[in-house]
Structure 1
């Protein structure tokens, strides 16, 4: 498991956990700001960034939670403050519910469930068959190659048009590798694309969230697909949750409205 250590080991530890098909350097702007007050660690989840691919893995939630638990134990980063996005936020919330005594504060950016359309309201056997087809298809699929870094940057901006040119270049440069033939491809394992046949179980998630004892800041963008947790009731599962909705931001809140995001996070962490 690869991770970036921003130094200041004498400061309280802070773990930054990225989302799916992303990488640790996605947090660089946040880390650069918070490194004055924290010892910042940003891992690449398995199959992402510069971490190893887990050959034959289904890249399930429990795998990611296990990796985070192993990293924190190996580095002895307790108690830990966590800021996490999307898939990473789901991982962080599950970790905090299993090990509430290890987490001091937690900022979860849009991590309360999968996007619409991934619920798969089909029978268990149909979902399993679909997952097997997806895995077999991914085994035959070659990673897309880009003739130039600029071409990959264009694809990055297509995914999030709110990115500035500098943001898109930075995220792409750290998210691709250059092959021997001069083409570029994304670092993440294609198999992370497969959707688990096991549905997101909201009741079990709520049970885990209910064990979290630290303050939690639930962040969402007002232009995102993520529903308001105050409206759909998910916020009620937490003992000590605060909701921050940021205007002019979609799913990548910390990229779309960085300064607003940092102000809210600093206030919540008590380092404003």
Structure 2
């Protein structure tokens, strides 16, 4: 008998218990669906349900997100997420794996694929390249004192701020819909149900760590990141929404750093293309995979 939903599983990485949803069918080729920042693994449920008959679908919660543990220091470098992904692949013997990832998850997945090009069969990154070259240049021009000063300020704010509390579930639901107006009522309800926890006083808060609002400044340089992208050997699809803040790599030139990548862009879609244009996204995804 088919499972109604996924099984919750966990593994240890960097002394932290991390959660993932396993949709079964372990004899099928492995497919990892990786969410974005301040999101959770169950945001992929529609895609997972559509693909579970042909794939062994695994949806991780990034550390500090969903039902995964929080960092004790509130420190979340991007390469730490990359290590967590590598652990998931190695411990479960998933290579060569196919990866579909969104935003922060796309950034993580592309770095992993550049580090280990032989471990990835195909990759789809939805708005996963980060800020545009123009925005990156503006940040570099700030100087270390401004960059680190801003980070320290945000860390202090995160430490002093309690997770936001919503008096009712409907209040949290309204905030979810406010964050992405393209969501249907059904989508917003499902995403919110898996995004909140109930506090002892009866209020609702998001599951993610408030320290995720403070991104550590130290990271690999942009030339190093571009060199990683250039190491990716497998077919790569980069997906963008034309109503998003994200910069299309065909227009800003970053596509030149990829050997085997194509770009698709959607009208009437923002940053969450896989929600905003789900039927069309799923059709493209099936064809590419």
Normalization by structure 1: what TM-score?
0.95
Q: Does 1:232 align with 2:252?
A: yes
2:265 — aligned with what? 245
1:134 — aligned with what? 154
1:22 — aligned with what? 39
Q: 1:199 to 1:5 in 2, by over 3 A?
A: closer
How many angstroms apart in 1 are the aligned matches of 2:262 and 2:35?
A: 21
How many angstroms apart in 2 are the aligned matches of 1:57 and 1:216?
A: 32
Q: 1:91 to 1:40 in 2, by over 3 A?
A: same
1:82 — aligned with what? 99
2:26 — aligned with what? 9
Report the CA distance between 1:200 and its aligned residue. Answer: 7.3
* Bigger mean CA deviation after superposition, 230-239 or 211-220: 230-239
Preserved contact between residue 250 and residue 256 of structure 1 (Cα < 8 Å)? yes
2:54 — aligned with what? 37
Report the CA distance between 1:201 and its aligned residue. Answer: 3.5
SS of 1:220's partner is strand
Q: Does 1:100 align with 2:120?
A: no
Map 1:1-272 to 2 at 5 A: 1-114=18-131, 120=139, 121-198=141-218, 201-269=221-289
Residue by residue over 1:17-72, the C-alpha shift from the partner in whole angstroms, topping out at 9 and shown as x without a partner, is 00000000010011111111100000000000000001104211011001000111
How many angstroms apart in 2 are the aligned matches of 1:240 and 1:197?
A: 30
2:12 — aligned with what? none
Q: Which runs of 5+ in 1 are unaligned?
A: none
How many angstroms apart in 1 are the aligned matches of 2:281 and 2:179?
A: 20
Preserved contact between residue 113 and residue 200 of structure 1 (Cα < 8 Å)? no
Preserved contact between residue 76 and residue 215 of structure 2 (Cα < 8 Å)? no
Residue by residue over 1:86-134, the C-alpha shift from the partner in whole angstroms, topping out at 9 and shown as x without a partner, is 0000000000000000000000000111378675331112211221121
Q: 1:41 to 1:68 in 2, by over 3 A?
A: same
* Bigger mean CA deviation after superposition, 72-81 or 193-202: 193-202
* Bigger mean CA deviation after superposition, 112-121 or 48-57: 112-121
How many angstroms apart in 2 are the aligned matches of 1:209 and 1:52?
A: 29
How many angstroms apart in 2 are the aligned matches of 1:91 and 1:114?
A: 14
Q: Which runs of 5+ in 2 are unaligned?
A: 1-17
Normalization by structure 2: what TM-score?
0.90
Report the CA distance between 1:199 and its aligned residue. Answer: 6.8
RMSD (Å), alpha carbons: 1.4
Preserved contact between residue 131 and residue 247 of structure 2 (Cα < 8 Å)? no
Task: Count matched residues.
Answer: 269
How many angstroms apart in 1 are the aligned matches of 2:179 and 2:110?
A: 26
How many angstroms apart in 1 are the aligned matches of 2:87 and 2:215?
A: 24
How many angstroms apart in 2 are the aligned matches of 1:13 and 1:113?
A: 26
SS of 1:106's partner is strand
